[in-house]
């Protein structure tokens, strides 16, 4: 093997030597050149052979070495047994784990209280086992395990471990609804046990692990050794004992939930309970709960029959004795006083006792529907007399309060309230129907000596009584309570008010409950009550409650006649008071247009907008004479307001042409300016003051004036469809509306704008900024609701008169059902007004009745520029396009067009290149030329 290797090396060296020698002499260059190529080719071949031969010879040596260093291990006789045991153990572990996982999945459906009971029972069983092992020294493997674990860990205090486990189990059973205290108790008990065991271990000599297990079990155990040994090692027993004592006190305070500053008070309370310390009377503490103490005394002093339901109350024998209730209340009050702070029991009644007894007896008499005792009657005689005098002197409308209801009705209402789920019905009672409006006959100055009588309310139909609480309301209350319980929201339904369309349920929240938790349940509430139109008000204005408005399954209609028959309407004779409808609380809604002073009525098709307009106009006709209110009605639809054609309140025929409507609004602006001129001239700030001065003769015209002063009537402008006007003349209409809404309030001019397309291009920002009152009916989108009300809500209305009324100055709208008036009622009222007098129109309202100016179509919007150019060319007698550019500041194209227009009207001659055009009109003919251009005369 070595010989082969040496030969190869020598041949390789010889080839390299021959190569070098061939380069040394020139004579051998050619031979070297001939043999150099084969030599170079042969050398790599030999090198490759050597490389291939070397691994072939070394490979067996490597394999042999590997076999020698890592011999194959012999099979172990115990390997199969190990694998079998391991497989059995893993299979058993997986099986047990699967069983426990299935049990855990089944326990998820258990009630939390059952799970806490299971934990408590487990602790009780563990306490029994530990007690048997530590107290009676149980024999067997269980006893040995308990001794090793419990006694080894707790030492001498192992006897207290079962008691501790039993106390924890009892607490879990008694207070399962207070899981928040579990963490505090665990921390406190841990600190208490560690501190006590550490002190016990130090007291027993601090035995260590080298002393044996028995010595540690006779001391504080493993826990005591772990708690005390580091402290003793670092700072000695002198400091270790106080630190462990502080830890013990800390644990005790945490377990009892006692702050450090409350320790004296807790100790005093403990002494009072044990009878060691006499109770001390503290005025602040007892006086703070005085009302609660009196309530408890009164409930205890009540007869047994008063604690039963109203059904049993009428069947129970025996009468209610107010004197006996007074005596029992006084006796309770005297017994509640402390011996050190009260006089003898046989003392006379002082003023405080008499007042307390009177209050208790008076409350009991009210609850039982019985007259109070003579003592109470003497004490409250003056108060009741004054109250009756006030109630008779100033009548209160029935729709605003329930004081006028008889006692029997109130008792019936209370008994109804107590039925069902205990949720009271807070709906206002049906208002008392007042008589007809007082007849007002006024002499109209504008129509001579004609006597005008207002239409009678008998022309308007009466509605039926309002619907009361039904089983559907109780079902909704139960559904809301179920939703709150399922989602763990601390809230309760405390009452509801039933309106004609929706019922608002009042929900009060518990402490630390966010209002957002109720609003987040909107869809869940809608699902529970099977109604998609659920609206949540958070909170209800003036109340600490959240309102949930849910539509009624049985809606009721609100008649216009019922609203106008209110006592409020009879007492307030303002001509601009109009009826709107009935709110969700059961009260009627009326509004004074003079206070609004302008209102925007908007809603989708079929939402009740036209019915609202009819109610407004009918209310004005029923309550006001033509001398009080004049109206301008704009009806681009041509069919909505035709029923009012010919009534004497109109100042102009009903306007149906949008272009004429824009001119009518401009006339209203001019009328407003004229009224303001009179107010400024006579020194008044409002039209009411001016009218009063005119009627009383205080306002007189200056000497030499032929004008006769007369009161200005209110001017009510009603536009039934604003969108049509904005499409025809948006700039003129918007400018007129903005001026009217900004300035017309003091002039007695009020605007009602109605539209079924409340978009931003119809109800612009300027219009919204100056129309403060809004009345929104059902809209098709949230964007429309924000345009009308600047807030959502109208998109959740259910239509057919269901609306939101946002008067001027209010933060939140009021939900109401709009009043309804039939066509027959409108026709009857209109016919009565027509029979009284004919309308007196003003001819200057709509100037579109005259022949319209004829302006050539080719002029377009350049009329003003053309007039200026004609005046400039005729006055200077120089027709140059460049001059028009300079003087009028227009471009070359505009100047050339103006020159062509003047050429077509024979004002200038034809173009002559760069020369100026000839002027064909003399300066004295300029007025006629301008008139022809403006279309005032025929050309």
Whether pTM exceeds 0.85 = no
Predicted local distance difference test score (pLDDT) of residue 788: 92
Beta-strand ranges (E) seen in 819-894 are none
> Cα(116)–Cα(137) distance, rounded to whole angstroms?
30
Q: What is the mean pLDDT of residues 261-279?
A: 80
Q: Report the distance separating Cα 683 and Cα 677, nearest Å.
A: 10
Q: Mean pLDDT, the chain, as a whole number?
A: 75
According to DSSP, residue 337 is labeled S
Span 364-373, pLDDT tens digits: 444 444 444 4
Distance CA 656, CA 686 (A): 32
Q: What is residue 71's predicted lDDT score, i.e. its pLDDT?
A: 58
SS3 for 689-714, per residue?
HHHHHHHHCCCCCCCCCCCCCCCCCE
CB 714 within 8 A of CB 671: no
Query: Quick one: pLDDT band at residue 826, thresholds 50, 70, 90?
Result: very high
Cis peptide before 406 (omega within 30 of 0): no
Contact 517, 478 (CB under 8 A): no
Structure tokens at 673: 């300016």
Q: Note whether 819 and 518 are within 8 A (CB).
A: no
Count the neighbouring beta carbons within 10 Å of the beta carbon of residue 241: 17
| CA distance between the termini of the chain | 136
DSSP 8-class letter at 461: P
Average pLDDT over residues 896-906: 90
Strands 451-453 and 441-443 come out as antiparallel
Q: Lowest mean pLDDT of 350-354, 477-481, 552-556, 830-834, name the range.
A: 350-354
Q: Which CATH number fits domain 471-551: 3.40.50.150, 3.30.1340.10, 3.30.300.30, 3.30.980.40?
A: 3.30.980.40
Query: What's the average model confidence in pLDDT over 915-927?
Result: 88
131 neighbors 125 (Cβ within 8 angstroms): no
How sure is the predictor about 261, in pLDDT bands with cuts at 50, 70 and 90?
Answer: confident
pLDDT cut 70: percent of the chain above it? 69
**pLDDT score of 113:** 59
Q: Is 665 exposed, middle or buried (0-12, 13-18, 19+ CB in 10 A)?
A: buried
Q: Is 882 a residue whose pLDDT tops 60?
A: yes
Of the spans 208-212, 280-284, 359-363, which averages the highest pLDDT? 208-212
The CATH label, of 3.40.50.2000, 3.20.20.10, 3.30.559.10, 3.40.50.300, for the domain at 560-849 is 3.40.50.300
Tokens read off for 866: 């053309």
* Between 566 and 492, the higher pLDDT residue: 492
Residue 448 has pLDDT above 70, yes or no: no
Q: At residue 503, does pLDDT exceed 60? A: yes
Q: Give the residue with greater pLDDT, 927 vs 417.
A: 927
**Residue 515 CA to chain centroid, in angstroms?**
8
Give the Cβ contact number of residue 655 at 10 Å: 23
- Give the pLDDT confidence of 127-162 residue by residue, as tens digits: 888 888 888 777 778 777 877 888 888 888 888 888
Q: What pLDDT is recorded for position 145?
A: 83
Q: How far apart are CA 323 and CA 376, in angstroms?
A: 9
pLDDT for res 106: 63
Q: Which CATH number fits domain 863-934: 1.10.1740.10, 1.10.3470.10, 3.30.43.10, 1.10.10.10?
A: 1.10.10.10
* Banded model confidence at residue 771, pLDDT cuts 50, 70, 90: very high
Give the confidence band of 462 by pLDDT, cuts at 50, 70, 90. confident
Per-residue pLDDT, 469: 78
Higher pLDDT, 198 or 103: 198
Specify the pLDDT at position 432: 55
Nearest to 521 by CA among 491, 553, 478: 491
What's the whole-number mean pLDDT along residues 616-621? 94
Contacts of 547 (CB under 8 A, 6+ apart): 504, 505, 506, 507, 536, 537, 538, 539, 540
Range in 20-24, 718-722, 766-770, 853-857 the model is least confident about: 20-24
Per-residue confidence (pLDDT) for residue 684, from 0 to 100? 92
CB-facing half-sphere around the CA of 561: CA atoms within 13 A: 17
Q: Confidence class of residue 749 from pLDDT cuts 50, 70 and 90?
A: very high
The Cα 194–Cα 186 span in angstroms is: 12
Q: Mean per-residue pLDDT for 108-134? A: 75
Average pLDDT of 791-814?
Answer: 90
Among 137-151, 473-487, 607-621, 683-697, name the one with the lowest average pLDDT: 137-151
For the chain, percent of residues with pLDDT exceeding 90: 24
Q: Verify cis geometry, omega within 30 degrees of 0, for the bond prior to 882.
A: no
Report the DSSP pairing between strands 491-498 and 502-509: antiparallel
pLDDT at 552 over 50: yes
State mean pLDDT over 256-284: 75
750 — pLDDT class (breaks 50, 70, 90): very high
**Best-predicted range by mean pLDDT (62-71, 414-423, 650-659):** 650-659
Which tens digits make up the pLDDT trace of 19-50? 444 334 344 444 444 444 444 444 444 444 44
Confidence of residue 72 (pLDDT cuts 50, 70, 90): low
Q: Which residues pair with 820 in a beta bridge?
A: 559
725, 751 Cβ separation under 8 angstroms: no
User: Is the distance from CB of 375 to CB of 358 less than 8 angstroms?
Assistant: yes
571 in Cβ contact with 728 (< 8 Å): no
C-alpha distances in angstroms, 385 versus 182, 298, 322, 382, 389? 60, 26, 21, 5, 6
Q: Which of 271-285, 359-373, 397-411 has the lowest mean pLDDT?
A: 397-411
| Residue 573 to residue 762: CA distance in whole angstroms | 35
Which residues are 601's β-sheet partners? 754, 775
Q: Which of 147-161, 657-671, 901-915 is the least confident region?
A: 147-161
Report the interhelical angle of 2-22 vs 29-69 (nearest 10°).
150
Give the number of other Cβ atoms within 10 Å of residue 699's Cβ. Answer: 19
Residue 263 token pair: 């320790």
């Amino acid at each position: 093997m070595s010989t082969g290797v040496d030969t190869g090396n020598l041949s390789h060296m010889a080839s390299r030597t021959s190569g070098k020698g061939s380069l040394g002499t020139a004579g051998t260059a050619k031979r070297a050149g001939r043999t150099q190529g084969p030599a170079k080719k042969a050398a790599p071949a030999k090198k490759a052979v050597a490389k291939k031969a070397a691994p072939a010879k070394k490979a067996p040596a490597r394999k042999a070495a590997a076999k020698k260093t890592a011999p194959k291990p012999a099979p172990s006789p115990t390997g199969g047994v190990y694998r079998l045991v391991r497989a059995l153990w893993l299979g058993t572990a997986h099986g047990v784990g699967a069983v426990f996982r299935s049990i855990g999945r089944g326990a998820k459906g258990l009630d939390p209280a059952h799970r806490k009971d299971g934990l408590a029972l487990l602790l009780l069983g563990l306490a029994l086992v530990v007690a048997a092992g530590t107290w009676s020294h149980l024999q067997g493997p269980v006893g040995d395990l308990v001794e090793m674990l419990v006694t080894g860990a707790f030492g001498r205090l192992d006897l207290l471990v079962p008691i501790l486990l039993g106390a924890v189990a009892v607490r879990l059973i008694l207070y399962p609804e207070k899981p928040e205290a579990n963490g505090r108790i665990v921390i406190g008990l841990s600190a208490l046990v560690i501190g006590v065991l550490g002190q016990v271990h130090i007291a027993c000599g601090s035995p260590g692990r080298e002393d044996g297990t028995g010595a540690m079990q006779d001391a504080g155990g493993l826990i005591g050794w772990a708690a005390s040994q580091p402290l003793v090692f670092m700072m000695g027993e002198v400091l270790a004992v106080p630190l462990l004592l502080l830890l013990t006190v800390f644990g005790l305070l945490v377990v009892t939930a006692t702050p450090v500053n409350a320790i004296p008070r807790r100790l005093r309370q403990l002494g009072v309970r044990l009878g060691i310390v006499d109770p001390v009377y503290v005025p602040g503490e007892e006086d703070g709960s005085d009302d609660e103490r009196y309530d408890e005394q009164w409930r205890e002093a009540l007869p047994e029959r008063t604690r039963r339901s109203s059904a049993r109350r009428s069947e129970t024998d025996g009468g209610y004795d107010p004197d006996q209730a007074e005596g029992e209340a006084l006796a309770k009050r005297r017994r509640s006083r402390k011996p050190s702070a009260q006089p003898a029991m046989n003392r006379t009644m002082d003023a405080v006792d008499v007042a307390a007894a009177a209050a208790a007896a008076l409350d009991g008499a009210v609850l039982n529907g019985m007259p109070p005792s003579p003592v109470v009657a003497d004490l409250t005689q003056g108060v009741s007399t004054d109250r009756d005098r006030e109630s008779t002197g100033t009548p209160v409308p029935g729709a605003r309060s329930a004081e006028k209801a008889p006692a029997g009705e109130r008792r019936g209402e209370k008994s109804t309230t107590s039925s069902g789920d205990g949720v009271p019905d807070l709906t206002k009672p049906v208002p008392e129907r007042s008589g007809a409006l007082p007849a007002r006959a006024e002499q109209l100055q504008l129509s001579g000596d004609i006597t005008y009588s207002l239409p009678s309310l008998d022309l308007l139909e009466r509605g039926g009584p309002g619907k009361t609480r039904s089983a559907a309301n109780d079902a909704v209350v139960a559904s809301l309570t179920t939703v709150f319980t399922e989602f763990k929201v601390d809230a309760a339904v405390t009452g509801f008010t039933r309106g004609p369309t929706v019922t608002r349920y009042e929900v009060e929240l518990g402490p630390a409950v966010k209002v957002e938790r109720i609003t987040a349940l909107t869809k869940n509430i809608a699902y529970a009550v099977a109604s998609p139109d659920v609206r949540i008000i958070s909170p209800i204005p003036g109340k600490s409650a959240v309102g949930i408005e849910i539509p009624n399954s049985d809606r009721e209609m609100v008649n216009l006649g019922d609203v106008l028959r209110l006592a409020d309407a009879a007492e307030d004779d303002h001509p601009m008071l109009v009826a709107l409808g009935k709110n969700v609380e059961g009260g009627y809604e009326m509004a004074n247009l003079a206070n609004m002073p302008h209102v925007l009525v908007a809603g989708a098709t079929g939402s009740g907008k036209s019915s609202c307009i009819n109610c407004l106009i009918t209310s004005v006709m029923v309550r006001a004479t033509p001398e009080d209110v004049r109206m301008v009605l704009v009806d681009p639809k041509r069919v909505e307001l035709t029923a009012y054609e010919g009534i004497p309140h109109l100042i102009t025929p009903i306007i149906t042409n949008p272009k004429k409507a824009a001119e009518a609004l401009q006339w209203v602006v001019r009328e407003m300016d004229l009224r303001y001129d009179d107010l400024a001239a006579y020194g008044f700030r409002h039209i009411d003051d001016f009218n009063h001065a005119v009627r009383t003769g205080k306002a007189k015209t200056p000497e030499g004036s032929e004008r006769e002063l007369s009161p200005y009537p209110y001017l009510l402008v009603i536009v039934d469809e604003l969108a049509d006007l904005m499409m025809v003349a948006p700039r003129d209409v918007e400018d007129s509306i903005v001026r009217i809404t900004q300035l017309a309030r003091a002039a007695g001019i009020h605007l009602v704008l109605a539209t079924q397309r409340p978009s931003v291009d119809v109800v612009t920002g300027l219009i919204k900024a100056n129309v403060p009152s809004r009345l929104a009916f059902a809209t098709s989108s949230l964007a429309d609701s924000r345009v009308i009300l600047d807030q959502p809500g109208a998109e959740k209305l259910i239509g057919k008169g269901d609306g939101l009324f946002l008067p001027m100055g209010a933060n939140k709208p009021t939900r109401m059902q709009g009043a309804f008036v039939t066509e027959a009622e409108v026709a009857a009222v209109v016919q009565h007004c027509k029979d009284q007098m004919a309308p007196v129109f003003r001819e200057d309202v709509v100037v579109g009745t005259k022949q319209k100016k004829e302006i050539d179509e080719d002029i377009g919007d350049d009329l003003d520029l053309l007039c200026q150019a004609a005046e400039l060319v005729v006055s200077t007698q120089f027709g140059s396009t460049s001059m028009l550019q300079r003087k009028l500041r227009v471009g070359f194209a505009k100047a050339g067009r103006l020159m062509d227009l003047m050429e077509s009207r024979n004002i200038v001659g034809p173009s002559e290149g760069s020369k100026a055009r000839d002027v064909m009109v003399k300066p004295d003919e300029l007025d006629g030329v301008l008139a022809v251009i403006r279309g005032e005369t025929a050309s």
